[in-house]
Amino acid sequence: MPESPLVPTPLPLSRDAMAAVAERSLAIARQKGASHAESEVSAALGQSVTVRQDEVETVEYNRDKGLGITVYFGQRRGNASTSDLSDEAVERTVEAACAIARYTASDDAAGLPEPELLLRGAVPDLALFHPWRLTVEEAIEIARAAESAALDVDERITNSEGATVSSNDADFIFANTLGFLGGFPTSRSSIGVGVVAEEDEGMQRDYWYTTNRDPSKLEGPEAVGRIAGERAVRKLGARKLATMEAPVLFDANIAGSLIGHFVSAASGTSLYRRSSFLLDRLGQPVFAPTVTLLEDPHRPGEMASEYFDSEGVATKARRVVDAGVLQGWFLSSYSGRKLGLPTTGNNGGNHNLLLQPGEHDLAGLLRLMGRGLLVTELMGQGVNPVTGDYSRGAAGYWVEGGEIAYPVEEITIAGNLLAMYRGIVAVGSDVLVRGSRQGGSILVDRMTIAGN
């Protein structure tokens, strides 16, 4: 198990206290007749400060703790949770889970993972815990600096949506009746700001933010504000486009959504329900040969690094897509059994998906595209997970001669995800690290652009 760093006392529960609650809940489940059970006890502490127009708008704190217990009576499953960790409340919660399981239909796929797949032994520290011990006054000053930098970019920036500085620390213990017990603390910090620019009766808004486990690796508040201001001003004077077909370049800030649609379609739930456009495509080319997608759960300090998934299964690095060919799914024990396949250690989601970068930065991709649409903002949820049909509102910039010509708005881009994936011409070197997916801008050879 990981050698966890010492977690400071401000968290509502110590690690020993969480382990004691988890083990007690499992013991009660056994006493109530459960054949197996799994329990997670968590604690979190956070602070968020928002400044707007140089005035403090909100100061929020969260200090939470909770227990979630899942019990199995054979292959009947029940789950219950509580934020009250007193002995009486824990017992009532376990009883509730047991009552649910007794009246639930048996499910052949239900149950704990195979014991040999659970994480065992020591693993290296992934450096996921870097608490940001800001006072409220310090957070306010950082937020003011970010907002001020955004407002100072251009006199056409006339309003602010506010600047927010947040820090969150969390810890948990997961245990089950197969003898697994482990957990690790994590932290997350961020600075973000949004502003409004106005010119000739037209208004545009935009934002920027930075987030990291380690606050020392955040972009500075002045840089965050400057980028937010510049993005808003660049959108002024936006036009509509005529309806056409043209290449589309997805900016790195939103390109990860294309990978997100892939993950959803390649997830076990979508597959066993046969509601995925990727059905029966394992081992086949799904993306263009230029695309390789890695999953690496053990990258130190990253936002989606994990030693084990949400049921204790050890995580492993792998190639999900290799030179365009689909190599693997995202499965939990349950969805794997539904499909007759082993779990991939993805109960709870994917871990650090890395889209292998190409040779071109954003400027190079614009030159490669020549003429087409650079998309910097997407709106709406027009994606059909069964067919892969894709249609979303968009805004960005029209590109001529490999350079940005003017901003555009009120357009729709449409296509089919399989065709879009196979039509990826290049992946940018402008890698943006946010959340569970990391990658650069993505250039697609052709999509329908609906405008005037």
Q: What is the pLDDT of residues 93-136, one digit of tens each?
A: 999 999 999 999 999 999 999 999 999 988 889 999 999 999 99
147 and 52 inside one domain: yes
* CATH number, position 173: 3.30.2290.10
Which one of 210, 233, 256 terminates a domain?
A: 233
1 domain residue, yes or no: no
What pLDDT is attached to residue 265?
97
Place of tokens 């690094």: 305
Q: Residue 132: what residue type?
A: W
In the chain, how many domains are there?
2
DSSP-derived 3-state class of residue 280: coil
What pLDDT is attached to residue 3?
47
DSSP-derived 3-state class of residue 129: coil
Mean pLDDT value of segment 9-21: 89
Mean pLDDT value of segment 326-337: 97
What pLDDT is attached to residue 332?
97
Determine the Cα–Cα distance for residues 258 and 278; give it in Å rounded to an integer. Answer: 14
275 and 214 inside one domain: no
For 421-448, the pLDDT digits (tens) are: 999 999 999 999 888 899 999 999 999 9
160 domain residue, yes or no: yes
161 and 223 inside one domain: yes
Structure tokens at 356: 């292998």
250 domain residue, yes or no: yes
Q: Residue 400: what residue type?
A: E
266 domain residue, yes or no: yes
Mean pLDDT value of segment 360-377: 97
Determine the Cα–Cα distance for residues 304 and 46; give it in Å rounded to an integer. Answer: 19
Which of 262, 208, 306 has the alpha carbon at shortest distance from 420? 262
Q: 48 or 7: which carries more pLDDT confidence? A: 48
78 domain residue, yes or no: yes
Domain that holds residue 48: 15-233
Mean pLDDT value of segment 397-410: 96
Distance between start and end Cα atoms, the chain: 59
DSSP-derived 3-state class of residue 248: strand
333 and 404 inside one domain: yes
Q: 333 or 4: which carries more pLDDT confidence? A: 333
29 domain residue, yes or no: yes
- DSSP 8-state secondary structure symbol assigned to residue 347: T
341 and 278 inside one domain: yes
What pLDDT is attached to residue 313?
97
Angstrom CA distances, 231 to 62, 234, 257, 438, stand at: 32, 5, 20, 21
For 169-228, the pLDDT digits (tens) are: 999 999 999 999 999 999 999 999 999 999 987 899 999 999 999 999 999 999 999 999
- CA 243, 244, 250, 255 dihedral sign is positive
Instruction: Give the distance, in angstroms, between the CA of residue 338 and the centroid of all CA atoms in the same chain.
Output: 25
Contacts of 445 (CB under 8 A, 6+ apart): 247, 423, 424, 425
153 and 267 inside one domain: no
- CA 265, 266, 269, 272 dihedral sign is positive
Mean pLDDT of the chain: 95
Burial of 335 (0-12, 13-18, 19+ CB in 10 A): buried
254 and 347 inside one domain: yes
Which one of 233, 253, 277 terminates a domain?
A: 233
Structure tokens at 401: 């001669």
229 and 344 inside one domain: no
5 domain residue, yes or no: no
221 and 192 inside one domain: yes
187 and 309 inside one domain: no
Q: 319 or 124: which carries more pLDDT confidence? A: 319
Residue 434: φ, ψ to 5°: -150, 130
287 and 182 inside one domain: no
Which one of 202, 233, 264 terminates a domain?
A: 233
171 domain residue, yes or no: yes
228 and 251 inside one domain: no
What pLDDT is attached to residue 45?
96
Q: Residue 301: what residue type?
A: G
For 232-251, the pLDDT digits (tens) are: 999 999 999 999 999 999 99
